[in-house]
Amino acid sequence: MDLLLTSAGLRNETLTDALRDMLGKPFGSANIVYVPTASMAEPGDHGWLLSDMTRVHGLGWREFDILELNGLPPRLVLDRLERADVIYVGGGNHYHLARSITGNGLADGIREALADRVYVGLSAGSMILSQYLTEHSADVLGDTADLHLLGATTVTPPLPLLDAYLKPHLHSPDFPERDDTWADRITARADFPLYFIDDDTALRVRDDKVDVVSEGRWRFHP
């Protein structure tokens, strides 16, 4: 199982090199599937999605597929995921993404696919890997509005592969409230392990071993 859990995608050479190393072959010899599902629950301008998609596409893949998880037969979705060497899951509303996986019966198939593929998460795409993705953590982190937006009060972690919660965009200019004081307030009431990572950082998980790949700043609350 190889996971590269980023805050804002492949924003620097260190993160890109980490993916290349995990993949074990040139990008031009590999297929990638880009999953934008989490973004569908976000209103407003989606230029950030297009910028990230363009950045990833520009790495020069043999095949660059785009796959929405909702509205297609589950077997067709899983076939498309299994065609890829890299499954890249983008940002947006992580509760919508989690519910799209569980609600469409995709969790077991995706987990099986991850046994011999590389998974890259961006923000929401990284957060859904936590076993602590629940309504309780939503309350602790102040994210209940994103859950209630869906008309939901509960959430089940679809791919509970990370024994910590990941909170992205530390010190990001796009999220100016996410400073050290914000992180301190969360850790004061959190009863689960937490990584805070900035947009130049990722968690790398290989065979259940977790390390941090970074050109920026991050924090861990045990």
List pLDDT tens digits, range 81-116.
Answer: 999 999 999 999 999 999 999 999 999 999 999 999
Residue in 134, 128, 135 with CA at minimum distance from that of residue 110: 128
pLDDT per residue as tens digits for the range 45-55: 999 999 999 99
Tokens representing 156 are: 């089940």
pLDDT interval class at 178 (50, 70, 90): very high
Q: CA-to-CA distance for 78 and 62, rounded, in angstroms?
A: 19
> What is the structure's pLDDT at 208?
83
Q: What is the CATH number of the domain that holds 122?
A: 3.40.50.880
pLDDT interval class at 140 (50, 70, 90): very high
Residue in 127, 88, 125, 118 with CA at minimum distance from that of residue 20: 118
* CB burial of residue 14 (10 Å; 0-12, 13-18, 19+): middle
> What is the structure's pLDDT at 59?
98
User: If you average pLDDT over every residue of the chain, what do you get?
Assistant: 97
Domain housing 156:
2-221
When mean pLDDT is compared across 84-88, 167-171, 204-208, 210-214, the lowest value belongs to 204-208
Give the total number of structural domains in the chain.
1
